[in-house]
Structure 1
Amino acid sequence: MKKLFLVVLMLVASMVSFGYVNPDYQSPVVAVVEQCAPAVVKVEAVKYTTSPYFDPFMEEFFKRWFGYNPFGGTQESTSLGSGFIFDKEGLILTNEHVVDGSKDITITLLDGTTYKAEYVGGDEELDIAVLKIKPDRDLPVLEFGDSDSLKIGEWTIAIGNPLGFQHTVTIGVVSATGRRIPKPDGSGYYTNLIQTDAAINPGNSGGPLLNIHGQVIGINTAIINPTEAVNLGFAIPINTVKRFISQLVETGKTQKAYLGVRVMTVTENLAKAMGLKVNQGVLVVQVLENSPAERSGLKENDVIVKFDNVSVSTDAELVSLIHSHIPGDTVKLLVNRSGKEINLTVTLGSSAEEGVETAQAAQEFLGIVVDEITDSDRESYSLPASLDGVIVRQVKNSAQIQKGDVIYQIAVNGKNNTIKSVNDWNNIVSKIKQGDFVAIFVYRKGAKMIYSFTYR
């Protein structure tokens, strides 16, 4: 009996001692969270969307039988996301998709203090936006790190507001760098992303991805559908964001880089037909005159395999990578020319410098803002050289017309009108009056579409 008592006593003692393993240890994550969490904010953005114009017969049908028109009017919704303070003057970084089109933005700090925020500027393609609040006290800020020096396996810490749970902390590692995923709306790609297994959920968008030193290495922006996979989150590298911050703060807009090529994705059939020595990459169809591409020595029928050490496999990926840089940046191209790999260095130009002078400002119509087509537009949207029209720069109300669409014809009451310039656009839309039947002819991603409605 005494032996049994001693055995039990020894077991209890071992259990007690086991509970005090590493008694003075504290995870470095705790220090990061204590230092950084106060600079992370919740972003609530109230958005108002207007339904597109619809068939007048259907509008009348719903009004008559259901008492309302589901295709007209304005709907209110609230977008929830995250952000972080990067300047003591009250400047905040977040995702553009969190605040795009918002009329009312509220910022909530860790201690519950709320501020109304002003939208300073943003970029839809890069998915970054800058907000500003007017603080009544000193604010904590986060320090930027260096996303170009990241290594696979480094610790990552995400702080945000997933599903409304304010200041949730998750940890993981850098799973990969240089990732690319398609955007949900099909408008292109997110490129050169940081992949992490730190849990990121809806509401984390715009929040910081931190390293173990408490520095921001990325802005959390996307997740893989949880029904398809788990722990696959993506962040925009902070070095990409840093290139554009001063532009956004000073002007509210971004000026992106320009290469000066027209390209197409290399497919197996294309490679066989042209005798290419590679079956993946982007084929240079045309090098524009006096462009950065021409000055770098890039030639037609070259296949761009890598852009600044990032592999490219589609034309859309290449355009996204170009637009992640600012004019004046120097990048490296790995090109396959007739089976031989060549390294080229190119100093990217300004898309504005490659544009054309607009004779007159475009008249806004149905919330659609248009402009003349530039060489940069043809590069960005893969527009044929033979395509004339005006390009859509901004859409305020319509859910059918999209940014980047080319409007090449407008029919009014059965009469077709060709659009080749802003002047043509102004002459036509200025004469459209209430009750007219209108059809807008649009070129988008290689397809032609027609949108018709009764103007009201």
Structure 2
Amino acid sequence: MKNISNIKKLTFGLLLLLSVLSLAIVNADYQNPIVNVVKVAAPAVVKIDVVVQTEVYIDPFIREFYRQFFGDIPRQFEESNSVGSGFIISKEGYIVTNYHVVKGAKKITVTMLNGDVYDAQYIGGDEELDIAVIKIKPTKDLPVLEMGDSDKLQIGEWAIAIGNPLGFQHTVTVGVISATGRKIPKPDGSGYYTNLIQTDAAINPGNSGGPLLNIYGQVIGINTAIINPTQAMNIGFAIPINTAKRFINQIIATGRVEKAYLGVYVQTVTEALAKSLGLKVTKGVYVSQVEKDSPAAKAGIREGDVIVKLNGTVVESAEELTSLVRNYTPGTKVKVTVNRAGKEITLDVTLGTLPSQNGSSTTSSKEFYGLKVSNLTADDRSTYRVPAGLEGVIVKESKNSFIKVGAVIYRISVNGYSYDIKNISDWNKVVDNIKKGDYIGIFYYYNGVNSVFSFRYN
């Protein structure tokens, strides 16, 4: 009997073991494709550490008081550190990231997945598009990511983000493509980021500049922004890779991008505007003026038209239209749909080059106090909401933290004498004659407000 009892116990134990083993090997042959994507892609994703140097603002009155007793105050600077992500696109060491990740960088350091560290050189980029290219000098063969086709994305397909959120190197998050063609306002209120990819793959500070991948390991977007986590969870945005592909070669070759130009003065259609002008639509962009010989004029766009779509994307504001146009390179053919007296008409437009870039102006601006300016264009007025009657030069690059890109400088005061600034020639004449020790006041318009920035030029 004892032997029978032992046999029963042994049999029960074997059955229990088989049961456990069978539970442990559920889906034993399953291979997660995301694991394979990460194995191939992660080595080409880099951590970007940036040191930024900014000038410390010193009140002019304090500066003058100090000067009377102790002499001039040397210009003061402070350094700050930030982290972002990027991905390698060529064996030569070119890396794509966001412009805001490397903006104003004094030093850029790139760290690979294997721990290799490189100093990186800033090649160029564009703040409006939020795209930049940096370069390292490789000491060995580099892994490279393949670029996909973001125009073929479908809602619900897999999305894989790799980056360095909050400095945690090479973090992988997974979700789906939640939507395409999204627009979000820029933090400085100067316009919109348009045609973005929305995903629920978790994106956090530090992910910026990293790749958004499809299930084939191809880059479909550049992770760039998130909704404030106190307002919503898992709503992130990426720049479509097809947008970036239009400009990357330009940036590598010249350090900047050549942007497209439509050539219309426009304003957002509001209820009041629609009723006062008898418009047949309540949303869109009203064309108040068409520049002579511009791409818009050549295509047949007229004053009084309401632009409602560009290449099939619905347009609801002047800033959105400008941002959409700037997503293309000069020479691109687009379809512009207008509402003309209640009838929708689609026109083929070959976009031109911004006048400030196409050589129409024989005068180039001189840099002063970290500011680079250009003559105002119709697109500038739309992008930065510059009033029609305001003349001046628009800030295109700013290395100081006081006057931002998009500000319109209309007057400069030197030692109490004021000079109106209506174009680059006026700007050059004034800044050419500024000397060390002069007291300067720069009058500018930005985001609906007139301001003056005053300082003693050292």
1:119-165 Cα distance to aligned partner (Å, 9 max, x none): 11111111111111111111110101000000000001011111111
Change in 2 beyond 3 A, CA 1:76/1:7? same
Partner residue, 2:103: 100
Kindly report which structure 2 residues correspond to 1:118-197, keeping only aligned pairs within 5 A, or say none. 118-197=121-200
Say whether 1:224 aligns with 2:239.
Answer: no
Deviation at 1:55, TM superposition (A): 3.2
Counterpart-to-counterpart distance in 2, 1:13 and 1:255:
68
Counterpart-to-counterpart distance in 2, 1:46 and 1:433:
31
Say whether 1:389 aligns with 2:392.
Answer: yes
Counterpart-to-counterpart distance in 2, 1:414 and 1:326:
44
Q: Percent identity?
A: 58
Kindly report which structure 2 residues correspond to 1:3-14, keeping only aligned pairs within 5 A, or say none. 14=19
Counterpart-to-counterpart distance in 2, 1:200 and 1:359:
45
Change in 2 beyond 3 A, CA 1:342/1:362? closer
Deviation at 1:290, TM superposition (A): 0.8
Letter in 2 for 1:91: Y
Partner residue, 1:320: 323
Partner residue, 1:206: 209
Partner residue, 1:48: 53
Counterpart-to-counterpart distance in 2, 1:73 and 1:176:
46
Could you say what secondary structure the match of 1:426 adopts? helix
Kindly report which structure 2 residues correspond to 1:240-279, keeping only aligned pairs within 5 A, or say none. 240-279=243-282
Counterpart-to-counterpart distance in 1, 2:151 and 2:248:
17
Which one is further off, 305-314 or 319-328?
305-314
Deviation at 1:441, TM superposition (A): 1.5
Deviation at 1:413, TM superposition (A): 3.3
Partner residue, 2:403: 401
Preserved contact between residue 355 and residue 376 of structure 1 (Cα < 8 Å): no
Say whether 1:428 aligns with 2:433.
Answer: no
Letter in 1 for 2:24: G
1:395-444 Cα distance to aligned partner (Å, 9 max, x none): 122x2212222211122333322122333223323444445443221122
Counterpart-to-counterpart distance in 1, 2:247 and 2:325:
13
Could you say what secondary structure the match of 1:32 adopts? helix
Deviation at 1:53, TM superposition (A): 4.5
Change in 2 beyond 3 A, CA 1:296/1:359? closer
- When normalised by structure 2's length, the TM-score is 0.91
Counterpart-to-counterpart distance in 2, 1:354 and 1:205:
29
Is there any run of 5+ residues in structure 1 with no aligned partner, and where? Answer: none
Change in 2 beyond 3 A, CA 1:329/1:426? closer
Counterpart-to-counterpart distance in 2, 1:55 and 1:372:
29
1:356-404 Cα distance to aligned partner (Å, 9 max, x none): 754544333222222333455345444445432222222122x221222
Deviation at 1:77, TM superposition (A): 1.1
Say whether 1:350 aligns with 2:353.
Answer: yes
Partner residue, 1:414: 416
Preserved contact between residue 52 and residue 71 of structure 1 (Cα < 8 Å): no
Could you say what secondary structure the match of 2:142 adopts? coil
Letter in 1 for 2:33: P
Counterpart-to-counterpart distance in 2, 1:4 and 1:344:
85
Counterpart-to-counterpart distance in 1, 2:357 and 2:436:
38
448, 451, 455: which one pairs with 1:449?
A: 451
Deviation at 1:196, TM superposition (A): 0.4
Letter in 2 for 1:280: K
Counterpart-to-counterpart distance in 2, 1:426 and 1:274:
41
Preserved contact between residue 415 and residue 440 of structure 2 (Cα < 8 Å): yes
1:254-300 Cα distance to aligned partner (Å, 9 max, x none): 00111111111111111111121221111111111111111211111
Deviation at 1:336, TM superposition (A): 1.5
Preserved contact between residue 355 and residue 374 of structure 1 (Cα < 8 Å): no
Letter in 1 for 2:403: I
Letter in 1 for 2:425: N
Counterpart-to-counterpart distance in 2, 1:70 and 1:236:
43
Letter in 1 for 2:244: V
Partner residue, 1:297: 300
Which one is further off, 304-313 or 366-375?
366-375
Counterpart-to-counterpart distance in 1, 2:361 and 2:300:
31
Say whether 1:32 aligns with 2:37.
Answer: yes
Change in 2 beyond 3 A, CA 1:157/1:192? same
Which one is further off, 349-358 or 28-37?
349-358
Preserved contact between residue 413 and residue 419 of structure 2 (Cα < 8 Å): yes
Say whether 1:18 aligns with 2:23.
Answer: yes
Which one is further off, 400-409 or 256-265?
400-409
Letter in 2 for 1:235: A
Partner residue, 2:4: none
Letter in 2 for 1:335: V
Counterpart-to-counterpart distance in 1, 2:348 and 2:187:
33
Which one is further off, 363-372 or 99-108?
363-372
Preserved contact between residue 262 and residue 382 of structure 1 (Cα < 8 Å): no
Say whether 1:286 aligns with 2:286.
Answer: no
1:38-72 Cα distance to aligned partner (Å, 9 max, x none): 111111111101123423238869xx9xxxx9996
The alignment covers a number of residue pairs equal to 451
333, 342, 349: which one pairs with 1:330?
A: 333
- When normalised by structure 1's length, the TM-score is 0.91
Counterpart-to-counterpart distance in 2, 1:58 and 1:52:
10
Letter in 1 for 2:368: F
Letter in 2 for 1:100: K
Could you say what secondary structure the match of 2:319 adopts? helix
Preserved contact between residue 358 and residue 422 of structure 1 (Cα < 8 Å): no
Is there any run of 5+ residues in structure 2 with no aligned partner, and where? Answer: 1-6
Partner residue, 2:3: none
Deviation at 1:346, TM superposition (A): 1.1
Counterpart-to-counterpart distance in 2, 1:406 and 1:382:
10
Letter in 1 for 2:123: V
Could you say what secondary structure the match of 1:116 adopts? strand
Could you say what secondary structure the match of 2:89 adopts? strand
Counterpart-to-counterpart distance in 2, 1:59 and 1:47:
28
